[in-house]
Amino acid sequence: MPIKVVHVVRQYHPSVGGMEDVVQNIAHQQRVRHGQLPKIITLDRLFRNSAERLAADELVNNIPVMRLPYRGSSRYPLCPSVLEHVQDADVIHVHGIDFFFDYLAATWPIHRRPMVVSTHGGFFHTGFASAFKKIYFDTVTRVSSRAYARVIATSDNDGEIFSGIVKPPKMVVIENGVNVEKYSAKSAPNLMPALIYFGRWSENKGLLETIAFFRHLVSQQPGWKLIIAGREYDHSQEELMALLQKHELSGCVRLAPNPSDQELASLIGQSSYFICLSRHEGFGIAPIEAMSAGLTPVLSDIPPFRNLIEQSGLGVLLGEGSPADRTAALLALHHQGERGYANRRMLAQAFVDRYNWQHIADKYVDIYSILANQALRRSTCV
């Protein structure tokens, strides 16, 4: 019998983001390559458009999606009805450390399904209530994690954070896969003084810091361009445009809110560099998507980005140095010219094949199969 895996995630299609992308790709590989039966349970409203209720049931990319009502804050949305919809699962896979994680742990004696959780950065993406988060992590999260058969850290950084409350073999590190085909080789074929950011316009992504960096860059070397593409979230198009106009940057910075994949591919084709000055990432999918396109990464000096730059040997980290030092680091790379860019473009695309979802999803499928078979043996012995 095919294994039934229920993925539980607080936001999903039509929401677009890193966690949503991970769920979609695991489920797709399960169904197409392994013959498993994935189902996705999520909330019936998008956090940034909470007045509109989405369809309760929908087939998205041939995978059933069930949407449930919730109450409370988007930071910790309450959805106890999830318990009614996991009883037929062979394995429950919770994505993120949130209400679903805690609630399904607390109700394990009722549903008694083997459970897996992917950390996705935990809840440390911003500094909001940091002291309270640390206390909560060391108490409630520690206790909830005991109900899970596997805690999957989605980056080495998450592995370090969660190693304080979960130990191997229960905790394993499986770095996120990335759809490396979507924008493959889409970067500008020739070197251009142009950077692009794409991703959610969230506070933690460092868009204000990116604009400040770019402001100094064009003051030192006019002619550079910056594209900021992605879904409006904490920052709106109006807010960012007002900031650009204030600093007289609107002529050299293009905002592209909510682009389609085709529109984003076209924008990537006008760029040679990907910039992201994020303050925190659990993993960081966008830089790997960017490298699959052949873009050179220009990243903030945070653990997952540092790991990516060190392993690939490509790109530049913009640390805590002066604006002049940070600008000089990028310009030194740019001055390597066409030959340097062509070499980086080729090496970046080769490097990111290790993140291909076909390789990564196999690791999840192996875990699902082990846990489902263990549960079946236990039920047979009773």
Q: Is residue 62 part of a domain?
A: yes
Find tokens 């070397």 and name the residue: 221
Q: Is the dihedral of CA 147, 121, 357, 350 positive or negative?
A: negative
Q: Is residue 76 part of a domain?
A: yes
Q: What is the pLDDT along the chain (382 residues), one digit of tens a residue?
A: 899 999 999 999 999 888 998 999 999 999 999 999 999 999 999 997 778 999 999 999 999 999 999 999 988 999 999 999 999 999 999 999 999 999 999 999 999 999 999 999 888 756 666 788 899 999 999 999 999 999 999 988 899 999 999 999 999 999 888 889 999 999 999 999 999 999 999 999 999 999 999 999 999 999 999 999 999 989 999 999 999 999 999 999 999 999 999 999 999 999 999 999 999 887 788 999 999 999 999 999 999 999 999 999 999 999 888 999 999 999 999 999 999 999 999 999 999 999 999 899 999 999 999 999 999 888 776 5
For 241-268, b where at least 16 C-beta lie within 10 A, e where not — what string?
A: eebbeeeebeebbbbbbebeeeebbebb
Q: Do 84 and 198 reside in the same domain of the chain? A: no
Structure tokens at 67: 């949407």
Q: What is the CATH number of the domain that holds 301?
A: 3.40.50.2000
Question: How many angstroms separate the CA atoms of 141 and 162, rounded?
Answer: 10
pTM of the model: 0.75
Q: Do 79 and 149 reside in the same domain of the chain? A: yes
Q: Do 346 and 360 reside in the same domain of the chain? A: no
Q: Do 169 and 217 reside in the same domain of the chain? A: no
Sheet holding 63-68, edge to edge: 57-60, 63-68, 37-43, 4-9, 91-95, 115-118, 150-153, 171-173
Q: Is residue 200 part of a domain?
A: yes
Find tokens 């549903």 and name the residue: 111
Question: How many angstroms separate the CA atoms of 349 and 185, rounded?
Answer: 7
Question: How many angstroms separate the CA atoms of 97 and 125, rounded?
Answer: 12
Q: Is residue 147 part of a domain?
A: yes
Q: Do 170 and 22 reside in the same domain of the chain? A: yes
Tally the domains of the chain. Answer: 2
Residue 73 to residues 10, 46, 79, 100, 300: CA-CA distances in angstroms?
A: 12, 12, 11, 13, 30
Residue 81 to residues 74, 265, 375: CA-CA distances in angstroms?
A: 17, 40, 24
DSSP three-state, residue 38: strand
Q: Do 139 and 171 reside in the same domain of the chain? A: yes
Listed in sequence order, the residues at least 6 apart from 37 whose beta carbon sits closer than 8 Å to its beta carbon are: 2, 3, 4, 5, 30, 31
Say how many C-beta atoms besides its own lie within 10 A of residue 322's C-beta. Answer: 9
Q: Is residue 92 part of a domain?
A: yes
Q: Do 19 and 135 reside in the same domain of the chain? A: yes
pLDDT at site 376 = 84
Q: Do 167 and 129 reside in the same domain of the chain? A: yes
pLDDT at site 125 = 57
DSSP three-state, residue 97: coil
pLDDT at site 238 = 97
Q: Do 15 and 112 reside in the same domain of the chain? A: yes
Residue 271's closest CA among 239, 231, 298?
Answer: 298
Range of the domain at 254: 194-354
Question: How many angstroms separate the CA atoms of 113 and 135, rounded?
Answer: 28
Residue 313's closest CA among 333, 327, 337, 335?
Answer: 333
Structure tokens at 220: 């030192």
Q: Residue length, the chain?
A: 382
Label the pairing between strands 57-60 and 63-68: antiparallel
Residue 326's closest CA among 176, 173, 216?
Answer: 216
pLDDT at site 99 = 97
DSSP three-state, residue 222: coil
Question: How many angstroms separate the CA atoms of 366 and 237, rounded?
Answer: 43
Backbone phi, psi, residue 214, to 5°:
-65, -35
Question: How many angstroms separate the CA atoms of 57 and 311, rounded?
Answer: 42
Q: Are 283 and 154 in contact (CB under 8 A)?
A: yes
